[in-house]
Amino acid sequence: MESQNHEDRLPDQQYFENMITSIPDYPKKGVVFKDITTLLQDPEGFARSIDEIADHFLDMGITKVVGAEARGFMTAAPVAYRLGAGFVPARKPGKLPRETYHQEYDLEYGSDSLEIHKDALNENDRVLLVDDLIATGGTAIAQLKLLQNFDCEVVGMGFLMELDFLNPRDHVRKYTDADVFSLIHVK
């Protein structure tokens, strides 16, 4: 597949918004859940979303893409493939077989933790974090804290969707000045 410079093609907000299904009162009353599975099951929409994220970071020398379990895997792994980079999974506790770094974090509806293998990255790596969604920034911040254990350089963060009304960029800016890119902005 031929790559395009990210400046040549801007994401079409409406195109991607039309592929996301809104589920009212899920997982609890008053919340409108944004279901990305309708985007993922559409071959053109899925491919285009991966291409848009990858193209934005194409010329940044990314060597590794980190994605959080589980929905982050669906976007991070194909972005890594498109960039010719390695994929590093940030997994739930007890899922990785070798020695790991561990980070707890708060979610919108509770708390969780992630782990990364201690040998997954090194000082030569230029890292991109990719996930399906950034809401309060909790998962992204947990990954940024995990990456502080390495001498790698975090150069970007890419998301399918950003919940702007929760101001996630304000939260992640306390930990990084990396480029943040989102296809869909929910106001």
**Segment 106-112 mean pLDDT:** 76
Q: Is residue 25 part of a domain?
A: no
Domain containing residue 144: CATH number? 3.40.50.2020
Mean pLDDT of 124-146: 95
Whether 123 is covered by a domain: the verdict is: yes
Q: How far apart are CA 12 and CA 10, in angstroms?
A: 6
Looking at residue 11, what is its pLDDT? 54
Is residue 71 annotated as part of the catalytic site, yes or no? Answer: yes
Q: Does pLDDT of 7 surpass 80?
A: no
Q: Which residue has the higher pLDDT, 31 or 120?
A: 120
- Model confidence at 13, in pLDDT bands (50, 70, 90)? confident
Confirm whether 5 is domain-assigned.
no
Average pLDDT over residues 73-99: 97
- 112-146 burial: b if 16+ Cβ within 10 Å, else e: bebbbbeebbeeebbbbbbbbbbbbbbbbbbbbeb
Does residue 35 form part of some domain?
A: no
Of 9, 104, 108, 173, the active-site residue reads 108
114 lies in some domain: yes
Question: Is 80 exceeded by the pLDDT of residue 25?
Answer: yes
Residue pair 87/63 in contact (Cβ under 8 Å)? The answer is no
Nearest residue to 107 via CA among 72, 147, 137 = 137
Q: Which residues of 31-47 are buried (b: 16+ CB within 10 A; e: fewer)?
A: eeebebeebbeeeebbe
Rounded Cα gap, residues 111 and 141, in angstroms: 13
Count of domains observed in the chain? 1
Six-digit token pair at 58? 């194409």
Q: Which domain holds residue 70?
A: 49-186
Say what the pLDDT of residue 125 is.
98
**Quick check: is 12 in a domain?**
no
Domain assignment of residue 32, yes or no = no
17, 69, 71, 153: the active-site residue: 71
Over residues 140-160, the pLDDT tens digits come to 999 999 999 999 999 999 999
pTM recorded for the entire structure: 0.89
108 catalytic? Reply is: yes
SS3 79: helix
* pLDDT, position 62: 98
For residue 27, what pLDDT band results from cuts at 50, 70 and 90?
confident
Mean pLDDT of the chain: 91
pLDDT at 2 over 60: no
Residue 8, pLDDT above cutoff 50: no
pLDDT of res. 108: 65
- 37 found inside a domain: no
- Rounded Cα–Cα distance for residues 113 and 166 (Å): 21
Return the percentage of the chain with pLDDT > 70, whole number.
Answer: 93
Sequence-ordered strand ranges (E) for 47-178: 64-68, 86-90, 100-107, 110-117, 126-134, 153-163
Identify the pLDDT of residue 141: 96
